[in-house]
């Protein structure tokens, strides 16, 4: 199965469905990532803060999947601001890779948009420690501050995204800046019992979770569902045997 991808600035391909790893620890993190790679995921999302980079890296090595076939994202937590280079070096060591594919500022630092941190990110990219750099939980204003000061745009802004959080203006404004909106907590943020979702799910013979994730795909929004449950890990990637009509997509948009 080939999962479609979204192109980031710099012509870097990001598989549109990835595997989220927040709250997966120890053996459970290792097993879940192994399972996800076996199921066909080629995009893993971790963070320094999740405390599971060792397990993610070990699972990747043991999987037999070529490192270069997997898009690897990690993040710098606000408390590591000022120690950016040491942080990415520790991430690379724990993950057991020479570079990651995407490194994100996990949250804007308290001081504002984090311009000094962004400059460190640019330097890390320049040094080949990451292919792409981006942000998470940023406002458009904070993104503009980074772009105005450096002329370099974040490839991605990873933010909460689900039917109840649909924001057409934010999406359009991000796209105008060539910043890809990547959605997190797609299922946690959704009421999977909502009749609109259950109705559409029934029509297509899929689950409401698959409807939500397919809705992200219809909008071209990369999405990174997490699960510790093998059947759900498989289910959350099984999104390419059906499609939502424009009317169904609009019906879900209207849940915001
Ligand atoms: P998700 O929206 O992925 O939801 C995870 C929850 O949904 C778990 O309780 C899981 O249970 C359950 N679930 C998974 N699949 C299904 C399914 N098919 N049907 C029903 N329930 C299901 O939440 P997350 O908050 O984990 O977000 C996803 C990822 O986004 C994170 O793992 C992380 O990588 C990233 N993230 C980034 C943040 C940031 O600040 N940048 C913040 C939050 C998340 P179970 O595991 O028991 O199967």
In the reported structure, the alpha carbon of residue 59 is separated from the centroid of ligand 1 by a whole-number distance in angstroms of 19
Catalytic residue among 30, 35, 50, 184: 50
Q: Does the pLDDT value for residue 76 go beyond 90?
A: yes
CB 75 within 8 A of CB 21: no
pTM above 0.85, yes or no: yes
pLDDT at 2: 84
Considering its fold, how many domains does the chain have in total? Answer: 1
Q: Is 50 among the residues known to form the active site? A: yes
Mean pLDDT on 206-213: 98
Ligand 1 mutation pick, 187, 191, 197, 206, max ligand atoms within 8 A of CB: 187
Rounded to an integer, the average pLDDT of 235-249 is 98
Supply the range of the domain harboring residue 68.
Answer: 5-253
CATH classification of the domain holding 212: 3.20.20.100
Q: Helix (H, G, I), strand (E, B), or coil: what is residue 15?
A: strand
The strand pairing partners of 75, in sequence order, are 104
Give me the pLDDT at residue 110, please. Answer: 83
Tell whether the model's pLDDT for residue 144 goes beyond 80.
yes
Residues 6+ apart with CB under 8 A from 101: 12, 14, 71, 72, 73, 130, 131, 132
Which residue's CA is the nearest one to ligand 1's atom 25?
185
Task: Specify the pLDDT at position 120.
Answer: 98
Cα(99) to ligand 1 centroid in Å equals: 25
| C-alpha–C-alpha distance, residues 241 and 205, integer Å | 11
Residues in contact with ligand 1 (CB, 6 Å cut-off)? 20-22, 45, 106, 136-137, 158, 184-188, 207, 209, 224-229, 232, 235-236
For the CA of 192, the closest atom of ligand 1 is: 20
């Amino acid at each position: 199965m080939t999962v479609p991808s979204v192109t980031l600035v710099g012509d870097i391909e990001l598989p549109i469905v990835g595997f989220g790893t927040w709250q997966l620890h120890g053996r459970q993190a290792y097993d879940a990532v192994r399972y996800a790679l076996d199921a066909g995921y080629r995009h893993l999302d971790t963070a320094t803060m999740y405390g599971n980079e060792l397990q993610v890296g070990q699972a990747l090595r043991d999987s037999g999947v070529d490192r270069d076939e997997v898009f690897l994202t990690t993040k710098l937590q606000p408390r590591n601001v000022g120690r950016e280079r040491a942080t990415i070096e520790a991430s690379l060591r724990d993950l057991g890779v020479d570079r990651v594919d995407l490194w994100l500022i996990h949250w804007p630092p308290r001081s504002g948009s984090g311009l000094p941190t962004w400059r460190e990110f640019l330097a890390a990219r320049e040094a080949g420690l990451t292919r792409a750099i981006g942000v998470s939980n940023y406002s458009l204003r904070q993104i503009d501050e980074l772009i105005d000061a450096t002329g370099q745009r974040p490839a991605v802004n990873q933010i909460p995204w689900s039917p109840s959080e649909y924001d057409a203006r934010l999406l359009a404004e991000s796209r105008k800046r060539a910043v890809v909106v990547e959605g997190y907590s797609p299922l946690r943020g959704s009421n999977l019992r909502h009749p609109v979702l259950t109705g559409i799910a029934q029509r297509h013979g899929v689950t409401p979770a698959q409807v939500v994730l397919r809705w992200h795909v219809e909008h071209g929004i990369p999405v990174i569902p997490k699960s510790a449950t093998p059947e759900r890990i498989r289910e959350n990637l099984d999104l390419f045997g059906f499609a939502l009509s424009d009317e169904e997509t609009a019906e879900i948009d209207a849940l915001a």
